[in-house]
A and B are shown apart, each in its own frame.
Chain A
Amino acid sequence: MKSDPELISDETSEAPALESAASHGHGLRSGKFSWLAFGIGMVVLGGVAALLLNQPYYLSLGAVGLLFAALASAWNIIGGYGGQFSLAHAVFFAVGGYSVALTQVNWKWAPWPGLLLGIVLSTILAALLAWPLFRLRGPFFAIGTLALSVVVLALVTWMPWTGAALGLQIPFNEQPITSRPAWAFIFLGFLAVCVAVSLVVSRGRLGFYLVAVRDDQEAASAAGASALWVKTLGFAISAGLTGLGGGLYVMYLGFLDPPTFLDAVQIGAFIPLCALIGGLGTIVGPIIGGLVLPTLQTYMRGAFSNLPAGVSEAILGLVLILVALFFRAGIWGWLTSLVRRVMSRRAKSDERANI
C-alpha cells in the first residue's frame, strides 16, 4: 500500500519510519484511498442505473436496492460499528415518512421541509430513547428496541391523527417527482450521503470509540470513552439518516400505511439483515447486502409464485441461517478474507522463489 498523505502532511512530523507506520491504517479506515473508492463506486452504480433506463422493471428493483443499501449503511453506524443491534430503526423510518406525509396532507407543506423535519425529529427521538434503551446491553437492547417498534406500530394504527390503519395518501398531482427512473438516482444520492457519513464517522474518533465500546465497554471507558455518550451519538446519527430515508420513501410511494413503514420483520429486521449479510462494521458490506437482499426477495417471489405461499420466505430464511452459520463476516468479509488468503499465499511462494 502507498503511504497516506494526510498523516504525512501533519506538521508534527516524527521520524520518517514513524510516519510510514502510521500511514498503514486499518483497511477501510486508511486515508484518501477510501474516498477515491467511494467516488468510483458511486459512479459505477450510477452508470449501471443509466444502462437500465430503458428497463423499468430492473430499474425499479435497483431503486429499492439502493434505498435499502442506504438504510443498511445508516443502520450499520450504530449496529455494525457500534455493535448495538437496533430493531427500532423502523420507528425512525416511520418518523421520517410521517413527517413528510402529515405536513403535506394536513398543512400543504412541500415535501422538502418535511424531509428536514423528519431528520430532526428522528435524531431527537433517538437521542431521547438512547437514555433508557442503552441501559440494556446486547440481546436485551435488541429486545427492547423490538418492543419499542411494536408499541409504535400499535400506537400509530390506533391514533386518528396519523391516519390510523388506513395511513395517508398523497394526491398524485401534489407529488413533485413521479418519474420512476428519477427515483433510482435520488436513492443513489441518498446512498452516497449515508456512505459519506459512514466514512467520516468510521475514520474519526467516534468510529474508533464505537468499535471500542462494541468490543469491550470497560476497556473503552478506561481509555476515556463514555459508552453512553458514544452510543447515543451513533444512534442519533444513524436514526437521522434513516428518517431521511423514510421521508424519501413516502415521496416515492405516494402513500403511507403503517405496516409498510413499521413492520417489525419487513423493515425493522430487514434493514439489519441487509447489513449482516453484506458484512457488519464495514463500508462496503451494507451496500452489497442492501442491493442483493431485496432483489433476491423480489426475484424469488416471482420465481416461486406457482408454489404455495411462503416458500420464497422459507428459502430466504434458509439463506439467512446459512450466512449466519458459515459467513459470519458477511459477503464482503468473506470476499476480503479470500483475497487476503490468496495474496499471502502468493507472497509466500514469491519468497520461496527468491530463495
Chain B
Amino acid sequence: MNAQTSESTQSEFVLECHSVGKTYGGLKAVSDVNIAARRGEILGIIGPNGAGKTTLFNIISGHVGSTTGTIVFNGADVTRKPAHTRARLGMGRTFQIVRPIRSLTVLENVMIGAFHAYPTREAAAQQALRVLERVELIDRAKSNAGDLTLAGRKRLEVARALAGNTQLLLLDEVMAGLNPSEANLAIAMIHRLSLTGVSVILIEHNLKVVNELAQNVVVLDHGAEISQGSPAEVLSDPAVITAYLGNRKVAK
C-alpha cells in the first residue's frame, strides 16, 4: 500500500510464481499455482489442511525443488537457486514448527540470520540488536533460545528471518498456538514490519488474522489455487466457503 514509490526501478512484484507445481510420485502436492506478491503488500495464503500451503512455501524458499514452473524474486529467476542463496538475496522465512538454534542465545540466533549481510561478529551483533528491538524481544537477547515461550520463539523466528536486510518475509503460521492476546500483539508487529517496507507472505489458518492483515489473499485447495482477491472477495466466494469451511453454512 505504500511501497512502490521508494523503489521505482524495481518491478512491481517482489515475488512471482508462474505455474508452479510439485509432485511426489503420483501425488500432486501443488499444481499450477500462479501468485504474485506486490512490493510492500501483505499477501495471505489460506486453505484447509493438506492444501499444499507449506509445500508452496518450501518451494518459494528453496527448501523443496519444484517439479514445474518458475519462481521470480525481485525480477530475477531463482527457480534453480538453493535456499541459502535465496536467503542472501533477501528472502527470509519462518518455519511452522519453530526451529531455534537451541545451543545459542536469542541474540546469537538472530546473528545467524544477519551474518550474510553483516560478515563481522560486531556488525552482525549490532544488526541483531536492531532487529530484536523491532520484534520487541530485546530484553530476552541474552536468554537461551530454548528458554523462550512459544510466543517468544515465534518472534525469534521472525527476527532471524528479518536480520539479513530481508525484503520478503515468508511467515508460516506464526499465530498458531498463540493465545488471543499474544496473537493480537503478533498482528500488530507484522503490521508494523509491513509499514517499514518489508513485503510479507503469510500462511494462516486463522481467517481473522488474514482479514485484518492481508491486502490480497490466495486460497489453495488440494494443491490448486481456487480463488484470489481481497479478503472480502475471497471469503465470500462460494468455492472457498465449500472448500475451506466444508459444507457448514457459515455466516461471517
CA–CA, A25 and B111, complex, Å: 11
**Cβ-based interface call for A212 (8 A):** yes
Inter-subunit contact A12/B123 (CB<8 Å): yes
CA–CA, A222 and B98, complex, Å: 12
**Cβ-based interface call for B119 (8 A):** yes
CA–CA, A26 and B126, complex, Å: 15
Whole-angstrom distance between the Cβ of A56 and the nearest chain B Cβ: 42
The residues of A that contact B104 with a CB separation of less than 8 Å are 26, 208, 211-212, 215
Majority secondary structure, A binding face: helix
The residues of B that contact A203 with a CB separation of less than 8 Å are 121
Given A26-B108, A205-B121, A205-B124 in contact, is the A224-B116 Cβ separation under 8 Å? yes
The residues of B that contact A219 with a CB separation of less than 8 Å are 95, 99-101, 160
Whole-angstrom distance between the Cβ of A198 and the nearest chain B Cβ: 15
Inter-subunit contact B161/A222 (CB<8 Å): yes
Inter-subunit contact B103/A281 (CB<8 Å): yes
Q: Restricting to A4-47, which residues have a CB under 8 Å from any CB of B?
A: 6-7, 10, 12, 14, 18, 21-22, 24-26, 29
Q: Restricting to A186-244, which residues have a CB under 8 Å from any CB of B?
A: 203-205, 208-209, 211-212, 215-216, 218-227
Whole-angstrom distance between the Cβ of A337 and the nearest chain B Cβ: 13
Inter-subunit contact A209/B138 (CB<8 Å): no
Inter-subunit contact A21/B129 (CB<8 Å): yes
Closest residue to B101 on the A side, CB-wise?
Answer: A215
The residues of B that contact A25 with a CB separation of less than 8 Å are 108
> Interface residue tally of chain B, by bracket?
35 or more
Inter-subunit contact A215/B113 (CB<8 Å): no
**Cβ-based interface call for B61 (8 A):** yes
The residues of B that contact A24 with a CB separation of less than 8 Å are 142
CA–CA, A223 and B122, complex, Å: 18
The residues of A that contact B63 with a CB separation of less than 8 Å are 218, 221-222
CA–CA, A204 and B108, complex, Å: 11
The residues of B that contact A208 with a CB separation of less than 8 Å are 104, 108, 111-112, 115, 124
Q: Restricting to B2-43, which residues have a CB under 8 Å from any CB of A?
A: none
Inter-subunit contact A224/B99 (CB<8 Å): no
CA–CA, A313 and B123, complex, Å: 50
The residues of A that contact B126 with a CB separation of less than 8 Å are 7, 10, 12, 14, 18, 22
Encoded as 1 (CB less than 8 Å from any A CB) or 0, chain B from 131 to 149 comes to 0010000100110000000
> Interface residue tally of chain A, by bracket?
20 to 34
**Cβ-based interface call for B88 (8 A):** yes
Given A10-B122, A21-B141, A216-B99 in contact, is the A224-B115 Cβ separation under 8 Å? yes
Whole-angstrom distance between the Cβ of A226 and the nearest chain B Cβ: 4
**Cβ-based interface call for B164 (8 A):** yes
Among listed B79-87, B182-190, B234-242, interface-contacting one: B79-87
Inter-subunit contact A220/B142 (CB<8 Å): no
The residues of B that contact A281 with a CB separation of less than 8 Å are 103
List 11 contacting pairs A-B, 8 Å CB cutoff, sorted by A: A21-B129, A22-B126, A22-B141, A205-B121, A208-B108, A208-B111, A215-B101, A216-B101, A219-B99, A219-B100, A222-B93
Interface contacts beyond A22-B107, A219-B100, A221-B82: sample of 16 additional A-B pairs, CB < 8 Å, sorted by A: A7-B126, A22-B126, A25-B108, A26-B108, A204-B121, A208-B112, A211-B104, A212-B101, A218-B99, A219-B95, A219-B99, A220-B84, A222-B83, A222-B95, A224-B164, A225-B115
Closest 9 CB pairs of A and B: A224-B116, A224-B87, A219-B99, A221-B83, A223-B113, A226-B84, A22-B125, A215-B101, A10-B122
Residues of chain B touching chain A, judged by Cβ–Cβ distance below 8 Å, are: 61-63, 82-85, 87-88, 92-93, 95, 99-105, 107-108, 111-113, 115-116, 119-126, 129-130, 133, 138, 141-142, 160-161, 163-164
